[in-house]
């Protein structure tokens, strides 16, 4: 495993870390504690030291599984969780200092921890980033020793740029992948100036960049890849990176043709992200142990060549950019 600095937090995190949205099973299939424990422990056995979760993942079950892991291991494992998505309706007015405090304290209980290494606002409405009193509450929580660091998980580049104006914000979690290039422009530059840790999520565009989907692939009714393609429930950009499914399949076909057949597309997709030195880590989610092992194999392949990088950019520019670049 290779490790990188998480901005100015003083933490070194595994390049390939772990997201736990579906760690207890496939999206919408219920939570399997045994499977979650197996995946989490196997990840740590292979050098993963940074795990991202959220209070809303399976209504706290993901947090409880992560907390159990941390308490059972001798290694230092850094936990990042997120808060705010329980606010219903999920609107700016629902974010109040007392509400974010309540969620942080509940996460501490869920994980049975005294301090959260990194707490992140979980994709709040854009207006929240302009409310200083919310960030001041996290400063109080930090002074009380309940959190060590604050970050934000954002939908839009503009939200990340606003968030890092607050000195307490040390990390930004953002969607960045072969189908989402915009963060590498102004945001990466500004984050580097401020020594902000960048956590990249949705690295495989909800599985599209595994190269395993086709026009007849079916997703369960409880899977967001079935019910949120047009942003019916939450931000459209979280599902397939906001790209029309059939258009994305066309782009995937071109990517598969671009790279040598002996290596899976998933490895090139993750390696492409890690080519950007501003990135602290990537947090692919897994529901099966084989997916974890596959993600880790990325560390064994060489960097993409200049020609390959240019070809990826050309595919993005031609097929993907017109529909997504200006939106997120």
Q: What is the pTM of this model?
A: 0.95
Ramachandran category for residue 42: left, alpha or beta (phi over 0 → left; psi -120 to 50 → alpha): alpha
Q: How many other CB atoms are found less than 10 A from the CB of residue 39? A: 25
Q: Sort strands 50-52 and 18-19 into parallel, antiparallel or unpaired.
A: parallel
Query: How far is the first Cα of the chain from the last one, in angstroms, to the nearest whole number?
Result: 31
Strand ranges, E, within the chain: 3-5, 12-14, 18-19, 50-52, 78-83, 116-122, 147-153, 169-175, 197-201, 281-282
For 79, phi then psi, to 5°, come to -110, 130
- CA–CA dist 180, 286 (Å, integer): 20
Query: Distance (Å, rounded) from C-alpha 272 to C-alpha 277?
Result: 11
Please name the residue that has the structure tokens 């429930």. 233
CA–CA–CA angle 195, 199, 203 (5° rounding): 140
224 phi, psi to nearest 5 deg: -60, -20
Bridge partners of residue 78, in order along the sequence: 50
* Inter-CA distances, 197 with 69, 167, 321, Å: 24, 13, 25
Supply φ then ψ for residue 202, to 5 degrees: 50, 45
Residue 102: count of CB within 10 angstroms of its CB: 13
pLDDT of residue 158: 97
- d(CA 315, CA 112) in angstroms, rounded, equals 46
Strands 3-5 and 12-14: antiparallel
Residues 22, 53: Cα–Cα separation, whole Å: 10
Q: What is the pLDDT along the chain (328 residues), one digit of tens a residue?
A: 999 999 999 999 999 999 998 785 555 556 788 999 999 999 999 999 999 999 999 899 999 999 999 999 999 999 999 999 999 999 999 999 999 999 999 999 999 999 999 999 999 999 999 999 999 999 999 999 999 999 999 999 999 999 999 999 999 999 999 999 999 999 999 999 999 999 999 999 999 999 999 999 999 888 899 999 999 999 999 999 999 999 999 999 999 999 988 889 999 999 999 999 999 999 999 989 999 999 999 999 999 999 999 999 999 999 999 999 999 9
């Amino acid at each position: 495993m290779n490790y990188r600095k998480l901005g100015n937090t003083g933490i070194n995190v595994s390049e390939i870390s772990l997201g736990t949205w579906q760690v207890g099973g496939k999206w919408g299939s219920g939570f399997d504690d045994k499977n979650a424990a197996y995946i989490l422990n196997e990840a740590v056995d292979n050098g993963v030291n940074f795990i991202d979760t959220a209070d809303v993942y399976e209504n706290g079950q993901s947090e409880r599984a992560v907390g159990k892991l941390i308490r059972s291991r001798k290694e230092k494992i850094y936990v990042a969780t997120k808060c705010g998505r329980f606010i219903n309706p999920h609107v700016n007015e629902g974010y109040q200092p007392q509400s974010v405090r309540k969620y942080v304290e509940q996460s501490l209980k869920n994980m049975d921890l005294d301090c959260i290494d990194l707490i992140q606002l979980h994709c709040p409405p854009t207006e929240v980033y302009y409310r200083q009193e919310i960030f001041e509450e996290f400063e109080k929580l930090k002074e009380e020793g309940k959190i060590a660091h604050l970050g934000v998980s954002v939908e839009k580049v503009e939200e990340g740029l606003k968030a890092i104006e607050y000195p307490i914000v040390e990390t930004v979690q953002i969607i960045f992948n072969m189908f989402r290039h915009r963060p590498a422009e102004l945001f990466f530059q500004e984050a580097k100036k401020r020594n902000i840790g960048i956590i990249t999520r949705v690295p495989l565009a909800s599985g599209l960049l595994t190269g395993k989907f086709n026009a007849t692939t079916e997703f369960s009714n409880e899977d967001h890849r079935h019910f949120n393609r047009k942003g019916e429930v939450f931000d459209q950009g979280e599902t397939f990176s906001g790209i029309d499914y059939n258009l994305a399949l066309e782009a995937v076909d071109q990517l598969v043709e671009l790279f040598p057949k002996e290596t899976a597309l998933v490895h090139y997709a993750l390696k492409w992200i890690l080519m950007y030195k501003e990135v602290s880590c990537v947090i692919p989610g897994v529901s099966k142990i084989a997916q974890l092992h596959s993600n880790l194999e990325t560390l064994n392949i060489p960097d993409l060549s200049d020609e390959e990088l240019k070809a990826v950019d050309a595919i993005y520019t031609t097929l993907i950019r017109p529909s997504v670049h200006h939106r997120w």
